[in-house]
Structure 1
Amino acid sequence: MNLAILIAVFVGGLTLGIPVAVTLGLASMAYLFAADIPFVVLPQKMYAGMDVFVLLCIPGFILAGNLMNNGGITERIIRFANAMVGWARGGLGLTNVAGSMLFGGISGTAVADAASIGGMMIPGMRRAGYPADFSAAVTAASSTVGPIIPPSVPMIIVGALSGISVGKMFLAGAAPGILMGLAMMVTTYIIAVRKGFPRQAWQGLGELARSFLGAFWAIAMTALIIGGLLSGLATPTETAVVASVYAFVVGSFVYRELPLRAVPKIVIDSAISSAAILALVGFANVFGWILVSERIPQAIAAGVLSVTENKYVVILLINVLLLFIGMFMETIAALIILFVPLLTLAQGVGVDPLHFATFAVLNLMIGLTTPPVGVCLFVCANIAKLPLTPVVRAIAPFLLTNILVLLLVSYVPAIATWLPSVLLD
C-alpha cells in the first residue's frame, strides 16, 4: 500500500508537469507519512546523497561552461566548424553537428548546447533556405553529444554512484560521443542530398587556419580537463576549479568578450543551476532509498533473470527500459534511482561496470530528444517558433541513428572500455 502511494504521487506529479525534483520530494514525503516514518529521514537521506566529494566538481564545470559561453566561444566554434564542413551539401547542418561535438566538450550539458548553438544556427539555417523543422531537429539531436564527450555532468553523477573513477568515465564517453556525432553527420548529409539542401562555397585553407586559431583557446579547455585528470596532478574537483579560472582568463583577457561586470551574474546563475542539480540529487537519493528499503532493485533483477539469464537479451531489456524511462524522466533523477539496481543486474550476467555506465548514460541522453518530455526538443522548437509535432517528425531519422549507435556501444564493449584501459590502467 505504501509503495502504491509513492508511485501514484510520483506518476501524478509528472503527469501534472510538476518539476521532477519537487515530484520526487512530494512522493517521498507521502510515503514517509503513510509508513509512519519520521520526516527527519528526509533531510538525513538528502544530505547523504549530496555529501559526495566528487559532486563538488559540478558547480566548477557549470561555471566554467557559462564563463566560456559568455566569452565569445560559440561564435568561434561555429566559424571553425563551418570552415571544416560547411562546403558540403547540407553544410550548415553538418556545421551544426560538428559545432555541438566541439562545444559539448566545454558545456557538458545538452540543454546548454541546444540553447547556445541553436540560438545562432537555427535562425541562420532558416535564412539560408533550410526547413525550420529540420533546423530544429538537427540541433536537438546533436545536442545530446555534449554530455557524452567530456566533461559531462551525468558521467560525474555515475562516478559518484558507482565508485568508478570520473577520469575513466570521461574517457569511456569520448569514443561513443565521437561515433554518435559522426553518425549524425552522415544522416544529415543523406537527408541533405535527398532533399537538395544548399551548400556553401569552400572558404579556403586560410579561413580554416584563421578559424582554428580563433577557436583554439576554447577547444584547448577540453584538453586541459582531460590532461589534468590523466596526469594525476589534479582531482576532478580541482580540475573544475582550474577550468573556471582558465575560462575567466580566456574570456576576459584573450577573447576580450567577457566584461568584468558580467561575472557576478554568471556566478549567481551558475550557483542556481548547481543548486538545482544538487537538490535533484538529494530528493532522488531519498526516493532511491525508499525503493531499496522496499527491495525493488532485487525484485527487478529477479524478474528479469527469471525470464532470461542471457547476457545479450538482458542488455537489450535494460536498453528498452532506459529508453522508455528517458521519455518521461529527467536524466540525473533516472540515473540516481535506476543506476544501482540495473548495474547489479548487469554485473549478474557479466557486464563490465564501466561498459554498463557508458551505454546507460548514452541511453538516457537519447531520452532528451524523445517526446513527451524531451527537454532539448522543447528548447529547439521554441527557438524555431514551431509546435512540437513537426520537430518530432523531423528528428525521427536522427533518433534511429542514435539508437543504432547505442546498440553498437551496448554490444561492442571495447568502444567504451578500450581508451580508459590504455590510458589509465
Structure 2
Amino acid sequence: MTTFILFGTFFLFMALTVPIGIALGIAGLVTAMYSANISVTFLSQGLVTSTDNFALMAIPFFILAGEIMGKGGISNRLFDLANVFVGRYTGGFAMAAVITSMFFAAISGSGPATVAAVGGIMIPAMVAEGYDKKFATALIASAGSLGIILPPSIPMVLFGISANESIGDLFLGGILPGLLIGGLILLWAYIYSKKQGYAGTGESFSFKKLLQALNKAKWSLLVPIIILGGIYGGIFTPTEAAVIAVVYALFVSMFLHKSIKLKDLHAIFRNASLSSVAILIIIGTANAFGTILSMERIPQAFADGFLSVSENSVVVIIMIIIMLLIIGCFIDTAAAVIIFTPILYPVALEIGMNPIHFGIVMIVTLAIGFITPPLGVNLFVGSGLSGLSMPVLAKAAIPFFFVILFGLALIAVIPQLTLLFL
C-alpha cells in the first residue's frame, strides 16, 4: 500500500502539471504521513543533507560555465572551424552544425544549453542556405542530446553520486558512445542532404582558412582539454574542474574574446542560478523519495520482478531500455536519473552488467527523451528558436530518434564502446 501511495501521489501531481521537484516532495510527505515507519523529520533532514555533497557542487558550476560560454560567442568560432573541414561537401552546413554541437556538448554538459547556443546561430544560417527549417531545427535538437552523453555531463555526475560510482570513469565511458552517436547523426545529415540536393560551399580546402579558424577558436577548444585532461591527469576532481571551467570561461569571454561585458554578468548568473536551484530542489526531494523506496525495499522488488520475467541479460537490458524510453517522455533527465538509478542499478548488477556500462546506457536512453514528446525539452527550445510548432518538429525528429536508437543498441550490446578507456 505504501508503494501505491508513493507512486500514485507522484504521478497524480505530475498529471496536474505540478513541477517535478514539488511532486516528488509532496509524494514523499504524503507517504511519510501515512506510514508509521517513516518520520517526516527524517525526510526533511534528508532534503538538506542530500545536497550537502562536494561532488554535487560540480553541477551549478558546470551550468554556470555553459551559460557563460553560450553567451560568449564560442559557438560562432566553433562553427567556423567545423565549416573549414566539412563545409565544402554535400550537406556541409548541416554536418558543421552537428560538429559544432559536439564541441559545445563537450563544454556545457547540458542538452538544452547546446541547442540554445548552437541553434540560435545555425538554424537561421541553414535556412538562409536553402535548408528546410524543419530539418535544420530537428537536426540541432537531436545533436543537442549529445550534451549529456559527451563529458562533462550533468546526468553522469548525478548517476555517479546515486550509484556511488566514479564520475571520472563515467566521463571516460561517455567519450566513444558520444562520438558514435554524433557520427551516426552526421551520416544521416549527409544522406538526407544528398537526397535533397543540399550542396556544400564548393570551396577547396585552405590551410590559411584552417589556421585562421583555429586561431579564432583556440581558447574555446582548450576548455574540454583543460577539464578532462585535469581530471584524468589527477590534477583536480570533477568539482574542481567545474570551478576552473567557470574561471576560464569568464576570463576568455571577458578579456580575450571581449564578448561579455560586466553588465551582462547579472543575467548570466541569474539564469545559471535558476537552472541550478531547479535541479537541486529535484535532487533534495528525489532523495526523500529514494529513501522511502529503500525502506520499502522497492528496488529489490523491481529486480526480482525483472528477473522473474527472464534471467537472460539481453532480455532484461531490453526491458530496462524500453522502460527508460517511456520514462524519458514524461520525466526530466536529471530527475529520472536520481529516481530510477536506485531501482535499476541493482537489476544491472544482478545480471552481471558493468556499472559504468549500465550508467552510460541509462543516460543515452534518457537522452532520447530530449526529442520525444510530450516532454521533449530540446524540441521546446528548438520550437522557440524556429517558430515551428511542437507537433511539426516532433514529426521532423522521427528519423533522428531511430538514428540515436540504433546507436544505443550498439552501445548496449558492445560494452567495449564504453569500457575501452577504463
Identify the TM-score tier after normalising by the shorter chain: over 0.9
Identity of aligned residues (%): 37
1:353, CA displacement in angstroms? Answer: 0.7
After superposition, where does 1:115-194 map in structure 2 within 5 Å? Answer: 115-194=116-195
- Deviation track 1:22-71 (CA, whole Å, cap 9, x = no partner) reads 21122222222333554323321212321222001112212222222222
Q: In structure 2, what is the Cα distance between the partners aligned to 1:58 and 1:6?
A: 28
Matching residue of 1:99:
100
Local SS of the residue matching 1:373: coil
Deviates more, 1:397-406 or 1:81-90: 81-90
Q: In structure 1, what is the Cα distance between the partners aligned to 2:28 and 2:93?
A: 47
**Partners of 1:61 and 1:108 within 8 A in 2:** yes
After superposition, where does 1:58-97 map in structure 2 within 5 Å? Answer: 58-97=59-98
Amino acid corresponding to residue 338 of structure 1 in structure 2: F
Q: In structure 2, what is the Cα distance between the partners aligned to 1:81 and 1:43?
A: 49
Q: In structure 1, what is the Cα distance between the partners aligned to 2:404 and 2:68?
A: 30
1:359, CA displacement in angstroms? Answer: 0.9
**Partners of 2:321 and 2:365 within 8 A in 1:** yes
Local SS of the residue matching 2:336: helix
Q: In structure 1, what is the Cα distance between the partners aligned to 2:230 and 2:300?
A: 39
1:93, CA displacement in angstroms? Answer: 1.4
Matching residue of 1:13:
13
1:281, CA displacement in angstroms? Answer: 0.6
Change in Cα spacing, 1:67 to 1:203, as seen in structure 2 (3 Å) is: farther
- Deviation track 1:134-163 (CA, whole Å, cap 9, x = no partner) reads 111101100001111111111111111122
Q: In structure 2, what is the Cα distance between the partners aligned to 1:345 and 1:352?
A: 11
- Deviation track 1:102-127 (CA, whole Å, cap 9, x = no partner) reads 11111110010111111111122222
Q: In structure 2, what is the Cα distance between the partners aligned to 1:72 and 1:271?
A: 21
Amino acid corresponding to residue 244 of structure 2 in structure 1: V
1:167, CA displacement in angstroms? Answer: 1.2
Amino acid corresponding to residue 195 of structure 2 in structure 1: R
Amino acid corresponding to residue 26 of structure 1 in structure 2: I
Q: In structure 1, what is the Cα distance between the partners aligned to 2:398 and 2:192?
A: 12
Q: In structure 1, what is the Cα distance between the partners aligned to 2:390 and 2:242?
A: 36
After superposition, where does 1:161-240 map in structure 2 within 5 Å? Answer: 161-202=162-203, 204-205=205-206, 206-240=208-242
After superposition, where does 1:24-423 map in structure 2 within 5 Å? Answer: 24-35=24-35, 37-202=38-203, 204-205=205-206, 206-419=208-421, 421=422
**Partners of 1:184 and 1:401 within 8 A in 2:** yes
**Partners of 1:129 and 1:198 within 8 A in 2:** no
Change in Cα spacing, 1:8 to 1:52, as seen in structure 2 (3 Å) is: same
**Partners of 2:71 and 2:117 within 8 A in 1:** no
Change in Cα spacing, 1:289 to 1:383, as seen in structure 2 (3 Å) is: same
Deviates more, 1:393-402 or 1:126-135: 126-135
Q: In structure 2, what is the Cα distance between the partners aligned to 1:244 and 1:382?
A: 27
- Deviation track 1:347-406 (CA, whole Å, cap 9, x = no partner) reads 111101111111111111111111111111111122111111221121111110101110
Local SS of the residue matching 1:234: coil
- Deviation track 1:204-225 (CA, whole Å, cap 9, x = no partner) reads 4222221122111111100000
Change in Cα spacing, 1:61 to 1:203, as seen in structure 2 (3 Å) is: farther
1:176, CA displacement in angstroms? Answer: 0.4
Q: In structure 1, what is the Cα distance between the partners aligned to 2:12 and 2:200?
A: 48
**Partners of 1:126 and 1:132 within 8 A in 2:** yes
1:280, CA displacement in angstroms? Answer: 0.9
Q: In structure 2, what is the Cα distance between the partners aligned to 1:209 and 1:230?
A: 29
Amino acid corresponding to residue 185 of structure 2 in structure 1: M
Amino acid corresponding to residue 33 of structure 1 in structure 2: M
Q: In structure 2, what is the Cα distance between the partners aligned to 1:137 and 1:179?
A: 19
Q: In structure 1, what is the Cα distance between the partners aligned to 2:318 and 2:5?
A: 30
Q: In structure 2, what is the Cα distance between the partners aligned to 1:395 and 1:198?
A: 22
Deviates more, 1:244-253 or 1:105-114: 244-253
Amino acid corresponding to residue 250 of structure 1 in structure 2: V
**Partners of 1:89 and 1:198 within 8 A in 2:** yes
**Partners of 2:85 and 2:205 within 8 A in 1:** no
Q: In structure 1, what is the Cα distance between the partners aligned to 2:395 and 2:262?
A: 43
Local SS of the residue matching 1:212: helix
Unaligned 5+ residue runs, structure 2? Answer: none
**Partners of 2:84 and 2:209 within 8 A in 1:** yes
Amino acid corresponding to residue 4 of structure 1 in structure 2: F
Local SS of the residue matching 2:40: coil
Aligned-pair RMSD on alpha carbons?
1.5
The number of residues matched between the two structures is 420
Q: In structure 1, what is the Cα distance between the partners aligned to 2:336 and 2:417?
A: 24
Q: In structure 1, what is the Cα distance between the partners aligned to 2:213 and 2:301?
A: 55
Q: In structure 2, what is the Cα distance between the partners aligned to 1:56 and 1:339?
A: 20
1:409, CA displacement in angstroms? Answer: 0.6
**Partners of 1:369 and 1:375 within 8 A in 2:** yes
Local SS of the residue matching 2:370: helix
**Partners of 1:323 and 1:367 within 8 A in 2:** yes
**Partners of 1:83 and 1:203 within 8 A in 2:** no
Amino acid corresponding to residue 84 of structure 1 in structure 2: F
Q: In structure 2, what is the Cα distance between the partners aligned to 1:272 and 1:396?
A: 31
